[in-house]
Amino acid sequence: MNELLKVDIDEFKVRFAGEVVLPEDADYDEVRQVWNAMIDRKPALIARCTSPEDVVQAIEFGRTKNLLISIRGGGHNIAGNAVCDDGLMIDLSPMKRVEVDLSTSRASVEPGCTLGEFDKVVQAHGLATPTGINSTTGVAGLTLGGGFGWLSRKYGMTIDNLLSAEVVTADGRQLHASESENADLFWGLRGGGGNFGVITRFEFQLHPVGPNVLSGLIVFPFDQARPVISQFARFTETMPEELNVWMVTRKAPPLPFLPEESHGKEMVALALCYAGDPEEGEKLIEPLRGFGTVIGEHIGVQPYTAWQRAFDPLLSKGARNYWKSHNFSQVSDGVIEAIIEYAARLPSPQCEIFIGTIGGQTAKVAPEAMAYSSRDANYVMNVHGRWESAAEDEHCIAWARDFFAKSQPFASSGAYINFLTQEETDRIAFAYGAAWNRLVGLKNKYDPTNLFRMNQNIKPV
């Protein structure tokens, strides 16, 4: 960093009300660190924002000094776009305010919130909106890419419940985006990632959920994977929207409800959540137990917030992660055979293949209604490579890529951009499908110089 830039930073600090973190500061390494340990980038400075005005000042500084800008919300994105090398990292994580309007069942959420922080506030009123399945995920990144989880079959994608947003654009304007104001921008924010500006506030529709829900896991031995996954595929095609069942195959962690002899061995688990009367839910899930020989089960009525944290230990910060993902309209025999083949040779104890079931309300929105257009995706499959040391990189990445290629012939159109890794720039246009040309037009209008390019980038023409 040259002397002129140091002077510039001192001037910036005078105007900026938040905290500026520099490489020589004691907390620099902690603040720049993101969820995926494969990402190790070092920004020239980090602007930790506390208000929309801080965001305006940070964007102006980055733009006028011609710095590469990255935007951090929860820092959970697989591609690590929250942090850049030698540029300006705008850190929104201090902005965590959540306000609930009970008269309208709406929540106002700042961009630094994690799902867990958001859920804690709204669940105090027995309310929720569909988000993801890991409480440490950031609300902002999840929402801008689409967002889906346990409640999506009943209440839609996260973006289907986004009512408005406050946005700071590349030229420093603060805009309100909704169906009635800057409607073109609002269309693009719902699935277009961080391409069009920095969101300083989200407004969500809330729904009555819980606060206790029927949820948990049913675990089967891997030698029964074929009948279990086949029956899962058929069952999920006709189950009611209040019920959601996901499939995951991996090596069994040492969970207390699993027999010790199964620990560390491949298994197939069905994870479920019922957003309705638990007694009715028990009747609906009973057939799942007949899919095979159950080796362990942990099903019960528990707080929705607890179920949202259930997978946190398997998704903790600090491991090396590499993902590959497909959308599917149905789980065909070809997909099932590919899953069984590759789950039989997991390269690390932490690697897994999961199928998230969506459909239901998510499929009832017109593909052209917003930037996320993959409304024929009833299932999203993620090949989750996860391991501890750099020495394992080549082997684990090759496994994920090979499985991705093997299952590709059975995939439907589009892709979920939140699951794309940093190398998959060739899949961005494919992910957006028919929405692509309109998104490029919006990029030309709101960010013609591509100031916001640390994302699944839509390049202006």
- CATH architecture of the domain covering 98-209: 2-Layer Sandwich (3.30)
The pLDDT of 200-220, averaged and rounded, is 98
Q: Above 60 in pLDDT, residue 4?
A: no
Q: Above 70 in pLDDT, residue 181?
A: yes
The pLDDT of 122-128, averaged and rounded, is 98
For residue 459, what pLDDT band results from cuts at 50, 70 and 90?
Answer: very high
pLDDT value of position 422: 86
323 to 4, 36, 383, 427, 435: CA distances (angstroms): 41, 11, 5, 14, 24
Q: Above 70 in pLDDT, residue 1?
A: no
* Each residue's pLDDT tens digit, 61-82: 999 999 999 999 999 999 999 9
Query: Which CATH number, 3.10.620.30, 3.40.50.620, 3.40.462.20, 3.50.50.60, labels domain 212-419?
Result: 3.40.462.20
Q: What residue has token string 């805009």?
A: 175
* Each residue's pLDDT tens digit, 253-274: 999 999 999 999 999 999 999 9
For residue 7, what pLDDT band results from cuts at 50, 70 and 90?
Answer: confident
Determine the Cα–Cα distance for residues 224 and 292; give it in Å rounded to an integer.
7
CB 66 within 8 A of CB 179: no
The pLDDT of 295-323, averaged and rounded, is 95
**The amino acid at 251:** K
pLDDT value of position 6: 83
Give all strands of the β-sheet with 19-21 in edge-to-edge order.
19-21, 45-48, 88-91, 69-72
Beta bridge partners of 385: 322
* Each residue's pLDDT tens digit, 88-102: 999 999 999 999 999
pTM: 0.96
* Each residue's pLDDT tens digit, 29-63: 999 999 999 999 999 999 999 999 999 999 999 99
For residue 3, what pLDDT band results from cuts at 50, 70 and 90?
Answer: low
Determine the Cα–Cα distance for residues 330 and 238; give it in Å rounded to an integer.
12
The pLDDT of 320-332, averaged and rounded, is 97
Domain positions in the chain: 7-91, 98-209, 212-419
pLDDT value of position 56: 98
Cα dihedral across residues 75, 412, 408, 354: positive or negative: positive
Q: 7-91, which class in CATH?
A: alpha beta
The 3-class SS string of the chain reads CCHHHHHHHHHHHHHCCCEEECCCCCCHHHHHCCCCCCCCCCCCEEEECCCHHHHHHHHHHHHHCCCCEEEECCCCCCCCCCCCCCCEEEECCCCCCEEEECCCCEEEECCCCEHHHHHHHHHCCCEECCCCCCCCCEHHHHHHHCCCCCCHHHHCCCHHHEEEEEEECCCCCEEEEECCCCHHHHHHHCCCCCCCCEEEEEEEECEECCCEEEEEEEEEEHHHHHHHHHHHHHHHHHCCCCEEEEEEEEECCCCCCCCHHHCCCEEEEEEEEECCCHHHHHHHHHHHHHHCCCCEEEEEEEEHHHHHCCCHHHHCCCCEEEEEEEEECCCCHHHHHHHHHHHCCCCCCCCEEEEEECCHHHHHCCHHHCCCCCCCCCEEEEEEEEECCHHHHHHHHHHHHHHHHHHHHHCCCCCCHHHCCCCCHHHHHHHHHHHHHHHHHHHHHHCCCCCCCCCCCCCCC
Determine the Cα–Cα distance for residues 428 and 449; give it in Å rounded to an integer.
19
The angle that helices 393-407 and 333-343 make with each other, rounded to 10 degrees, is 160
* Each residue's pLDDT tens digit, 392-411: 999 999 999 999 999 999 99
pLDDT value of position 5: 77
Determine the Cα–Cα distance for residues 360 and 2; give it in Å rounded to an integer.
56
The mean of the pLDDT values for the chain is 96
pLDDT value of position 190: 98
Q: Above 80 in pLDDT, residue 14?
A: yes
CB 407 within 8 A of CB 381: yes
Beta bridge partners of 243: 274
Query: What is the share, in percent, of the chain residues with pLDDT greater than 90?
Result: 97
